[in-house]
Amino acid sequence: MSTTALDRKADSASAGVRPAGYSLVRTRFGARRVSFLLHRRAAVVAVALLVLLCLTCVAYLSVGESFVAPTEVLKVILGQPSSDELVVGTLRLPRMVVGLLVGAAFGVSGALIQTVARNPLASPDIIGVTQGASALTVFAMTYGVTSFAVLPYLSVAGGMVAAVLVYVFAWRGGLHATRFVLIGIGFAIALRSLTTLFMTKGDYLVAQQAQVWMTGSLNGRGWDEAAPLGWVLLILLPAVAWAAYAQRTVSLDDGTATALGVRLGHIRLGLVLLGVVLASVATGTAGPVDFVALLAPQIARRMTRTAQIPLLCSALLGAVIVVLADLFARKLFAPTELPVGVLTAAIGAPYLIWLIIRSRTAGAGK
Amino acid sequence: MTTSIGETTKSGLSRLRARELTLAYDDRTVVHDLELAVPDGRVSVIVGPNACGKSTTLRALGRLLKPKSGSVLLDGEELARIPTRKIAQSIGLLPQSPTAPEAITVADLVSRGRQPHQHWWQQWSEEDERAVTEAMARTDVTDLAERSVDELSGGQRQRVWIAMALAQETDLLLLDEPTTFLDIAHQVEVLDLVRRLNHEQGRTVVIVLHDLNQAARYADHLVAMKSGRIVAEGHPGEIVTAELVREVFGLESVVVPDPVTGSPLVVPGAPYRPEAETGVA
């Protein structure tokens, strides 16, 4: 590179450079200029996923023990009188809404924790968060607490305690991604054993109920579960919007991010906290629906090709996965209903194995 | 050998100083009671053998490492007391081996340098666009804008990282071994670029290097460190001598004037020859 080449470059640079692939959205609020960067591909993917989700939902409401025509389904959704009101509106719709919310919560949760750990393996269902939530919930169940009004709170508490323990044990003057994941996996295994212990100690009827819950099931979920979950997610929405912005900065390495004036410690803690609450609330409602938090963000990211994991797309994809999986869970071996977690595990487990193989070969290549 | 803090501070001001700075990793003290005044508007190079604490010192100057005791002062105020975002508006720092998020594009990465000037409600301004465009032009990476950082060569990647640090538009720029992993042509290219930025924009630059000859060529102010202490500092022409090289690096050498720049050039002592050892010759 010669000096003259540099001069020429510096002079001819009249056209402004923007981050490639982003569109600028600019507006004013009074005297304040407001501008947002919108990733074009991510926006297109989000719209596509939204359409896919709508189609999945209509299919979900149509298919079941009795088939309801999509036109009738739409009638019910739009509040028009229909003879299928009971089947669609009362039986299938609330359960679907729970699935949708649970999927979205798991999707975002996985995205946040994977971002902080900078590791695709670090999702709440791998590093002990959902296992912590399960352990406390099952413990409570064996002592006779079966109300779904109480269990979600216990789940959040359990998930939180597990996350704090993993965080504290992984902390050594800083948060090292690999150590975080390995310690998390260790805790996950320990907590799972603890859960089994509670189940074997407990009454066998309770144990059976806990077992179904443990696999992750939407069976019997309705508006009573959907409403609190919906409220919690709505309240957390501003936090998720903040996270989408803050995420941009933590995807750099620690040194660079700190040099750019990012309060890394605070932001990380905030993101993990949000991720843990989302995963725990979802677990409390439907049990640990395995692998959704692991799968959704990574697939979403491959679709959008963004430098960080896209939160909105992760949420949408998580919702699609759970609703679709529950559709198959209801229909595949009808009249026997499988817990939805069995299906997500069937898709997720091979993916997890592939991920580990791939990361090992990538490591060897360095 | 002239060792003087007095001379440099007399000739100019220092926005960035280290006072009785002691740095440690866990219980292992790496830097002891360091006093340093970074001369404004100059290129300072910290040089020394492996593990002498030069990178550690740089990290502390850029608040990546908290001092065990003593302090780093920016405009007379302790770094620890200044909000990190405010520091980022004055001090830019490029760590030794920064890692980019997977699949990030060049323009996206360089734009991250604007972080300390942005808010969540204002993610891109005309000022950002100007700074990024300029930084990319200066480092000659404009043509790479849409490429993924993963697929660049080492030299290109290093220029992209420097562009990111430039887009931050800070008066002080700290670079930790920016030439590691680069071949000699790219090393020269990067150091020339840094020198040019200093000259044209009057930015204060501090670079950590382990190559003494490169340091002597590019430094206005050379700081030689050994075992966590400053052994000598001043203009390279005044302080680089065979004695200093022996003291700092433990190497026998001859110091001659560089045929191109006239700055001191360190030529190491005779290499191993079989005849000399066996006495056949």
- Residues from A contacting B (CB-CB < 8 Å) are 1, 3, 5-6, 9-10, 12-13, 15-22, 24, 26, 32-37, 173, 242, 245, 248-249, 251-256, 258-263, 305-308
Q: Which residues of B touch A16 (CB under 8 A)?
A: 129-130, 132-133
Q: Which residue of A has its CA nearest to B107?
A: A19
CB contact under 8 A, A13 and B136: yes
How many percent of chain A have pLDDT more than 70? 92
pLDDT at B215 over 60: yes
CB contact under 8 A, B95 and A253: yes
CA dihedral A192, A196, A202, A204 (to 10 degrees): 130
- Rounded to the nearest 10 degrees, the angle between the axes of helix A204-215 and helix A129-142 is 160
Model confidence pLDDT, tens digit, residues A181-231: 889 999 999 999 998 888 888 778 888 878 877 878 888 788 888 888 899
pLDDT at A364 over 70: no
pLDDT at A366 over 60: no
Q: What is the mean predicted confidence (pLDDT) over B184-192?
A: 88
Give the pLDDT band of residue A361 (cuts 50, 70, 90): low
User: Considering CB atoms only, which of B109, B115, B122 is closest to A262?
Assistant: B115
Q: Which of A256, A263, A298, A303 to mutate to test the interface with B (most CBs of B within 10 A)?
A: A256
Q: Which residue of A has its CA nearest to B113?
A: A260
Q: Which residue of B has its CA nearest to A25?
A: B124
Q: What is the mean predicted confidence (pLDDT) over A2-20?
A: 51
Give the pLDDT band of residue B276 (cuts 50, 70, 90): low
Model confidence pLDDT, tens digit, residues A73-100: 888 888 888 788 888 888 889 999 999 9
User: Considering CB atoms only, which of A13, A252, A258 is closest to B112?
Assistant: A252
Question: CB–CB of A63/A331 below 8 Å?
Answer: yes
Q: Which residues of A touch B100 (CB under 8 A)?
A: 252, 307
Give me the long-range contacts of B237-245 (CB less than 8 A, separation at least 24). B237/B262, B237/B263, B237/B264, B238/B2, B239/B1, B239/B2, B239/B3, B240/B212, B240/B216, B240/B264, B240/B266, B241/B1, B243/B1, B244/B1, B245/B212
Model confidence pLDDT, tens digit, residues B8-35: 444 468 899 999 999 998 889 999 999 9
Model confidence pLDDT, tens digit, residues B94-123: 998 888 887 789 999 999 999 899 887 788
Distance from CA of A363 to the nearest CA of B (A): 15
Question: What is the number of other CB atoms lying within 10 angstroms of the CB of residue A1?
Answer: 17
pLDDT of residue A360: 57
Distance from CA of A186 to the nearest CA of B (A): 26
**Euclidean distance between CA atoms A120 and A325, whole angstroms:** 22
Mean of the per-residue pLDDT values of chain B: 88
CB contact under 8 A, A33 and B125: yes
CB contact under 8 A, A16 and B123: no
pLDDT of residue A2: 42
pLDDT at A9 over 60: no
Q: Which of B79, B123, B125, B169 to mutate to test the interface with A (most CBs of A within 10 A)?
A: B123
How many percent of chain A have pLDDT more than 90? 33
Q: Which residues of A touch B102 (CB under 8 A)?
A: 307
pLDDT of residue A8: 42
Q: Which of A260, A301, A309 to mutate to test the interface with B (most CBs of B within 10 A)?
A: A260
pLDDT of residue A277: 92
Question: B2 or B268, which is more confident?
Answer: B268
Question: A65 or A13, which is more confident?
Answer: A65
pLDDT at A275 over 90: yes
pLDDT of residue B224: 95
Give, in order, the Cα–Cα distances in Å from B96 to each of A117, B30, B43, B59, B223.
21, 17, 18, 10, 18
Q: For the purposes of burial, counting CB atoms within 10 Å of the CB of A211, is it exposed (0-12), middle (13-18) or buried (19 or more)? A: middle
For chains A and B, CB pairs below 8 A equal: 141
Q: Give the ranges where chain A is alpha helix by DSSP (H).
A: 3-12, 40-62, 70-77, 93-117, 129-142, 151-170, 177-201, 204-215, 223-250, 254-259, 264-286, 292-304, 311-331, 340-365
CB contact under 8 A, A255 and B64: yes
Give the CATH class of A40-73+92-365: mainly alpha
B217 token code pair: 């060529």
Q: What is the mean predicted confidence (pLDDT) over A17-44?
A: 81
Mean of the per-residue pLDDT values of chain A: 84
pLDDT of residue A183: 92
Q: Which residues of A touch B86 (CB under 8 A)?
A: 261
Distance from CA of A174 to the nearest CA of B (A): 12
pLDDT at B93 over 70: yes
Model confidence pLDDT, tens digit, residues A123-178: 898 889 999 999 998 888 887 777 766 777 888 899 999 999 998 898 877 777 78
The ipTM, to two decimals, is: 0.84
Model confidence pLDDT, tens digit, residues B115-164: 899 887 788 888 888 999 989 988 889 999 889 998 998 888 988 999 99
CB contact under 8 A, A260 and B137: no
Model confidence pLDDT, tens digit, residues A228-270: 889 999 999 999 988 988 888 888 888 899 999 988 888 888 9
Q: Which of B72, B86, B97, B120 to mutate to test the interface with A (most CBs of A within 10 A)?
A: B120
Q: Which residues of B touch A22 (CB under 8 A)?
A: 108
pLDDT of residue A322: 95
**Euclidean distance between CA atoms B131 and B207, whole angstroms:** 22
Give, in order, the Cα–Cα distances in Å from B136 to each of A109, B123, B157, B200.
36, 19, 12, 16
Q: What's this model's pTM, rounded to 2 decimal places?
A: 0.84
Question: CB–CB of A165/A184 below 8 Å?
Answer: no
Could you tell me the residue ranges of all domains in chain A? 40-73+92-365
pLDDT of residue A15: 59
